[in-house]
Amino acid sequence: MSNIPVSDLGNPELGAEHDEIGPLVVGHDHRGLRTRLLREFRASLDVARIAAANSSNDLATAVHDYRRALRRARALVDVVSAKLPKHERKSILEALRDARGALSVARDHAVAPGVLAAMPLGEPERLVANDVLRAARDAAPTEADTEMLLREGAARAVAQADALEAALPVFDERVVFAGMANTYRKARRARRGAKRSMSQFHRFRRRLKELAYQFELVAELGGARLQTLKDGYTGISVTCGEVADLHMVREFVATYGGPRNTDALEGLDVALVAQIRDGAIAQRKASRDLFGFRGKKFAKKLARALRKDLAPATGPVEGNDPGDSD
């Protein structure tokens, strides 16, 4: 529990950090928040380890679960990165990034068939899409190589759990809110750039996913207000992912299309571009209100939501029922 008395909340002597986002939430166990983050970090690494161990059962699902778990682990480190020594922070994040990135090609080969199958295509475009998938299968990483990469990456990632625990000091929810505000700022900048750049849209989508994972750390500390904030950013993260998958498939088709029916390939590309364009415009429009303010205000919104969620419920004072006046 916090040892800071109510009268001292916001006192400059307690540090400028108290004034930037707001006072501490009275009665909240800050050591418990550190324990929660370390537990969730280890849980994410365990998901990656289990996915690697069971990859022979369903390789595509294993790759998806592994990469998703390591993205979540990176997001948890990012949200408290300001509290970590520079060398340890860099080492942990690089290990997670490299372990995840090693499976990027395998992920593309696993996702592309489903995306193409879901697209409404004419017969010539469907035939050339099937040709592309056949060519891609010949160039895909072998199952043995993918399973090896999963095992090696999982082993390296799991080793970061002890490294994070050794480096991470005690912190409170303001550290998390400041970290989330930093992720929010990056997403907001990328969203602006996404109007003209698909690479910026990808960056926007990645930061959105990280923000959604960071929300998971604090949402359960509060109640309906924090959960409502979380739901908004999580929802847009999912739909942005669909657009990003289409863009990946466009590059996939360009890579494995080869010297085939040029008209049909062009038709497939036109269909992909139309869906990507319409989807990106729709997601930028849908996210406008979520990113209509600066990072500092976002952090304050988080702090305010948690304070209100944890405030004691109040009701009519006994003997002062509005109905008494009738």
Average pLDDT for 122-144: 94
Tokens representing 161 are 């759990």
SS3 159: coil
DSSP character at residue 6: G
pLDDT of residue 222: 82
Sorted by sequence, the CB contacts under 8 Å of residue 163 that are 6+ apart come out as 88, 91, 92
Using the predicted structure, report yes or no on whether residue 31 has a pLDDT greater than 80: no
Using the predicted structure, report yes or no on whether residue 260 has a pLDDT greater than 70: no
Average of per-residue pLDDT values in the chain:
87
Contact 305, 222 (CB under 8 A): yes
Using the predicted structure, report yes or no on whether residue 28 has a pLDDT greater than 90: no
Among 77-81, 255-259, 262-266, the range scoring the smallest mean pLDDT is: 255-259
pLDDT of residue 1: 34
Using the predicted structure, report yes or no on whether residue 214 has a pLDDT greater than 90: yes
| pLDDT band at residue 244 using 50, 70 and 90 as cut-offs | very high
Measure the N-to-C terminal CA separation of the chain; round to a whole number of Å: 46
- Domains detected in the chain: 26-309 (1.40.20.10)
| pLDDT band at residue 311 using 50, 70 and 90 as cut-offs | confident
DSSP character at residue 23: P
| pLDDT band at residue 314 using 50, 70 and 90 as cut-offs | low
| pLDDT band at residue 14 using 50, 70 and 90 as cut-offs | very low
Does residue 10 or residue 224 have the better pLDDT? 224
Question: What residue has token string 């899409």?
Answer: 129
pLDDT of residue 313: 62
pTM: 0.84
> Amino acid identity of 124?
P
pLDDT of residue 265: 92
Using the predicted structure, report yes or no on whether residue 150 has a pLDDT greater than 60: yes
